Amino acid sequence: MRQPRSGPGKRRGRGPRIPAATLRKQKAALANVDQITGAKIPKSFVFARGKLPSTLRHLQQDLRKVMLPYTALNLKEKKRNNLKDFVNVAGPLGVSHFLILSNPKSLPHLRFAKSPQGPTFTFQIEEYSLAADIANSQKRPRCPPGIFQNSPLVVLGGLTGLGNPFRSLVEYFQHMFPAVDPSTVKLATCQRILLLKHDKEKDVIEFRHYSIKLQPVGVSRRIRKLMQNNQVPDLGEYKDVSDFVTKAGYGSESEVDDEAAMVSLPSDVDKLNRASRKSAVRLQEIGPRMTMRLSKVEAGLCSGDVLYSWPVEKEVGKKGTETGEEVEEQEEDDNAEATDESEDEMEV
Partner 1 sequence: MAAATQTLSAPPPAAAAAPNTGKRKRQPKGNKKKKKLVRSDQDDSFRRRRNKPSAKFLKLLRKRARDYNSDDEEEDDDDQRQEHPPNPRRRRDDGDDDEALSHSEPEEDEDEDGEDEEEGASSSAVTRFEQGCRAFRVAFLKIMAKKLPDNPLGPIMSAHKTLVAAKLAEEVEQHKPKGEARKEKRVAAEKGHVIPKDHLDSKEKELIKVATKGVVRLFNAVNKAQKPRKDLNPSRTKDAKVLEKERKNTFLTELGMPSHQDKKSKASSNLSKHTGKDEDEPAWAPLRDTYMLGSKLKDWDKMKDSSAASEQKKVPLSDSSDEE
When binding is defined by CB under 8 A, the residue of 49, 208, 293, 296 that contacts partner 1 is 208
Q: Which of 128, 148, 308, 310 binds partner 1 (CB under 8 A)?
A: 128
40 binds partner 1 (CB under 8 A): yes
Contact flag: residue 265 with partner 1 (CB under 8 A): yes
Minimum distance from residue 310 beta carbon to partner 1 (Å): 16
Nearer to partner 1 by Cβ, of 133 and 322: the residue is: 133
CA atoms within 13 A on the CB side of 279: 22
| Binder of partner 1 out of 197, 222, 274, 318 (CB under 8 A) | 197
User: Contact, 230 vs 219, CB < 8 A?
Assistant: no
Q: Interacting stretch for partner 1, rule CB under 8 A, among 60-68, 85-93, 239-247, 265-273?
A: 265-273
Q: Which of 4, 13, 19, 38 touches partner 1 (CB under 8 A)?
A: 38
- 210 lies in the binding site for partner 1 (CB under 8 A): yes
Helix axes 314-324, 329-347, angle to 10 degrees: 160
Q: Is there binding between residue 82 and partner 1 (CB under 8 A)?
A: no
Query: How far apart (Å, rounded) are the C-alpha atoms in residues 3 and 51?
Result: 60
Scanning 14-22, 106-114, 228-236, 321-329 for contacts with partner 1 by CB under 8 A, the matching segment is 106-114
Q: How many residues of this chain bind partner 1 (CB under 8 A)?
A: 76
* Least distance to partner 1, CB of residue 142, Å: 14
Which of 49, 108, 113, 150 lies at the binding interface for partner 1 (CB under 8 A)? 108
Q: State in angstroms the smallest separation of the CB of 227 from partner 1.
A: 21
CB of 348 to partner 1, least distance (A): 19
- CA angle at 92 for the pair 173 and 177, rounded to the nearest 5°: 20
What number of other Cβ atoms are within 10 A of residue 32's Cβ? 15
Report 286-305 residues binding partner 1 (CB under 8 A).
289, 299
Q: Give CA–CA dist 155/201, Å, rounded.
A: 20
Q: Within 314-333, which residues bind partner 1 (CB under 8 A)?
A: none
Contact 234, 244 (CB under 8 A): no
Q: Residue 127 carries which side chain, given as an amino acid letter?
A: E
Q: What is the DSSP track for 130-189? A: -HHHHHHHSSS----GGGGGSPPEEEEES-TT--HHHHHHHHHHHTSSPPP-TTT--GGG
Let me know: does 64 contact 130? Beta carbons within 8 Å: no
Contact track, partner 1, 152-171, x by CB under 8 A? -xxxxxxxxx--x--xx-xx
Long-range contact pairs involving 325-330 (C-beta distance under 8 Å, separation at least 24): 325/102, 325/104, 325/109, 326/49, 326/50, 326/102, 326/104, 327/49, 327/50, 327/82, 327/83, 327/102, 327/302, 328/302, 328/303
Distance from CA of residue 215 to its chain's centroid? 24
Q: Does 45 bind partner 1 (CB under 8 A)?
A: no
Smallest distance from the beta carbon of 264 to partner 1, in angstroms? 6
Nearer to partner 1, 64 or 289 (CB): 289
Q: How many residues does the chain have?
A: 348
Whole-Å CA distances, 314 to 309, 319, 344: 7, 9, 12
CB of 197 to partner 1, least distance (A): 6
Q: How far is the CB of 225 from partner 1 (least distance, A)?
A: 23
Q: Does 275 bind partner 1 (CB under 8 A)?
A: yes
